[in-house]
Amino acid sequence: MDISIVLYSHDSVGLGHARRNRPLAYALAAHLPALVGGTVRGLLIAGHPDAGRDPLPEGWDWLVLPGMTRSSDGKGFRPRRLDMHGERLRDLRSATIDAALAAFDPDLLIADRHPFGIDGELRPVLANVRARGTRTVLGLREVLDTPRVAAAEWDALGGAEQVAELLDAVWVYGDHHVYDPRLTGELPGPLARLAITTGYLGHGRPAGRPSRGRTSPKPPPPYVLTVLGGGSDGGELARIAARATLPEGHRHLLITGPQMSDADLQEVREIAAHSGDATTVVHSAPDVPELIAEAVSVVCMGGYNTLAEVMATSTPALVVPRARRRQEQPRRAAALAALGAVETLDAAGLTPQDITAWLERSVTTRTDRTGIDLDGLSVVPHLAARLLNSSVRTAPEVTSHAV
């Protein structure tokens, strides 16, 4: 049968949600056709213009919505660029999504992290697609927030039971031996009963935007790497890392992230210039997973996608998690550090000397992460096939991940 899939991410802050959906698109495009016996096409709905710059599989495309971002008080959302009231833009986005899905008629809709999108923009969409027979999935990173904050967020949506009524499944993109939101209380009973852990989306992640006209910024080895995800909140760590003293004979590549402000980027470049040519600062790179794998050490924040890429290597990692607004990153870093997969330091009080000391220690070591399940991208197509057609035989490894 021929299958149409939609993956949604609202992308109000950074690109973490779209960066999870894109490797899922590649995995589904590569493996689902053999499981369902037909073609697979897809549409990725995103809320940030930078999302659409990265390539997609053949037969897939982006639908980039007018952007919304958090208001200055952090309690709501406002248009990123359009001069119109936030509620009107939310309605415009909702109507756009609804019209697109009515025309595209997907068999499967996967929403990343937020089941109803920004200010409920997906709520009427979910009701409409389910009436047409579309299967609906909520995809979640393994850590949401503290249990108290997570419970308040589910309550604000009308309660976990109401959310669960509009879903067929919840896929948790993590290893339950590392962190299980069903046990911490972040996933209440009605949603926990729908939830399956897939393994981290680590192995098999696709490359970034094509490097046509761009060369990799990879310095001559040996080099240490600082990578800050989207970079919108990485300015302070970038400044500290740029001031660190490098181990003798090593170079330093610092990738700020495409969402770092121009002012922060300029300041980091000025700091790095004092090291002569030992530190190279770039806004972005097309081959971050390869750069992480070939670095002798990496300093990073605690975002899901960055750590999924780190976990797929043996490169020692120092994680300095963002701790404001959410406790997601500190909780993830602590869980991985407890297994010896990373080391972690708090951002508060962090100094260049701390990073200097860690680099001196780490550049001659490697880290064994073979015990962590990183095979989510090979598991999700089997889960999708099972959801779309209960008669499809699932591979044995799905059972071990899903139980």
**Do 195 and 231 share a domain, yes or no?**
no
Question: Is 216 part of a structural domain of the chain?
Answer: no
The structure tokens listed for 194 are 């729908």
Q: Which of 204, 89, 195, 90 is nearest to 144 (CA)?
A: 195
Task: Please provide the DSSP assignment of 287-307 as one string.
Answer: THHHHHHHSSEEEE---HHHH
Q: Each residue of 14-37: pLDDT tens digit?
A: 788 999 999 999 999 999 999 999
The structure tokens listed for 112 are 């990343």
Q: What is the pLDDT along the chain (403 residues), one digit of tens a residue?
A: 799 999 999 988 778 899 999 999 999 999 999 999 999 999 999 998 888 888 999 999 999 999 999 887 777 899 999 999 999 999 999 999 999 999 999 999 999 999 999 999 999 999 999 999 999 999 999 999 999 999 999 999 999 999 999 999 999 999 999 999 999 999 999 999 999 999 999 999 997 665 455 678 999 999 999 999 989 899 999 999 999 999 999 999 999 998 899 999 999 999 999 878 899 999 999 899 999 999 999 999 999 999 999 999 999 999 999 988 899 999 999 999 999 999 999 999 999 999 999 999 999 999 999 999 999 999 999 999 999 985 333 333 333 333 2
CATH, residue 17: 3.40.50.2000
Structural domain total, the chain: 2
**Do 163 and 20 share a domain, yes or no?**
yes
**CB under 8 Å to 161, separation ≥6 — which residues?**
190
Domain that holds residue 320: 223-362
Task: Please provide the DSSP assignment of 201-254 as one string.
Answer: B-TTPPP-S--TT----PPSSSEEEEE-TT-TT-HHHHHHHHHSPPPTT-EEEE
**Do 43 and 182 share a domain, yes or no?**
yes
**Do 35 and 152 share a domain, yes or no?**
yes
Question: Is 208 part of a structural domain of the chain?
Answer: no
Amino acid identity at 228: L
The structure tokens listed for 138 are 């909520």
Beta strands in 308-369 (DSSP E): 317-319, 343-344
**Do 258 and 176 share a domain, yes or no?**
no
Q: Each residue of 107-163: pLDDT tens digit?
A: 999 999 999 999 999 999 999 999 999 999 999 999 999 999 999 999 999 999 999
The structure tokens listed for 93 are 């986005």
Burial of 259-290, coded b for 16+ CB within 10 Å and e otherwise, reads bbeeebbeebbebbeebeeebbbeebbbbbbe
**Do 158 and 26 share a domain, yes or no?**
yes
**Do 132 and 69 share a domain, yes or no?**
yes
Distance CA 112, CA 402 (A): 19
Question: Is 213 part of a structural domain of the chain?
Answer: no
Question: Is 212 part of a structural domain of the chain?
Answer: no
Q: Which of 200, 257, 165 is nearest to 378 (CA)?
A: 200
β-strand pairing of 135-141 with 68-70: unpaired
Question: Is 218 part of a structural domain of the chain?
Answer: no
Predicted model pTM: 0.93
Question: Is 353 part of a structural domain of the chain?
Answer: yes
**Do 33 and 179 share a domain, yes or no?**
yes
Question: Is 112 part of a structural domain of the chain?
Answer: yes
Question: Is 214 part of a structural domain of the chain?
Answer: no
**Do 199 and 228 share a domain, yes or no?**
no
**Do 184 and 243 share a domain, yes or no?**
no
**Do 26 and 165 share a domain, yes or no?**
yes
**Do 176 and 279 share a domain, yes or no?**
no
